[in-house]
Structure 1
Amino acid sequence: MMIARIWHGKTKIEDYEAYTEFIIKTAIPDYEKTAGFVKLSFLKNIKNNEGHFTLITYWKNWEVIKNFAGENIEKAKYYPEDEHFLLEFEENVEHFEIFA
């Protein structure tokens, strides 16, 4: 059963485009090289003068998520560069089984 993994982050408005570039150059290739990764949707918008990012990744099953996220799959994965951009670090992600 395919699984969707959803993460959210936010930046200052002045970091919005720079974080977008970081995601394109660093994070997306990292996801794509992980065995069991299917696809992703990276969404962004500006709300309340902050940049919001929502990432939805799709994985073949629960086990392959561990290849990317580690043993505790509920814990969000961050990159060292995120400290320069993100306003806060949400501790957990959400997972959903895809049924249709």
Structure 2
Amino acid sequence: MIKPERIQQLHSHINSGELMKFYKSREWMSLRKEALKRDNYECQLCKATGRYHKAENVHHMKEVKTHPHLSLTLSNLQCLCIKCHNEVHDRLESVRAPKFTNEERW
């Protein structure tokens, strides 16, 4: 059981924009490990479509920044592979390298 003072401290890190302090906390690391075990280390979005991929990320379904009170709630966590996590956060375009185009003509 996490002490209320510690929860308040972790929430203050989130509210002040110090997310790395939250994500490096032993409370988060422990809960993250618990979520991975619960989901059998499998990406839940891939699994839902009949595919398999190892889960590397633990995603907060309700964002930490807008719902800090759910940041340490196991039912708010979903294990995802990197690709699915980027898709959920709409980061795919920024991850892909731009295609090379050579406009020079010989």
State if a TM-score over 0.5 links the two structures: no
User: Which structure has the larger Rg over C-alpha atoms?
Assistant: 2
Q: TM-score under structure 1 normalisation? A: 0.27
**Which is richer in strand?**
1
Higher-RCO chain (CA-CA 8 Å, sequence separation at least 6): 1
Q: TM-score under structure 2 normalisation? A: 0.26
**Which is richer in helix?**
2
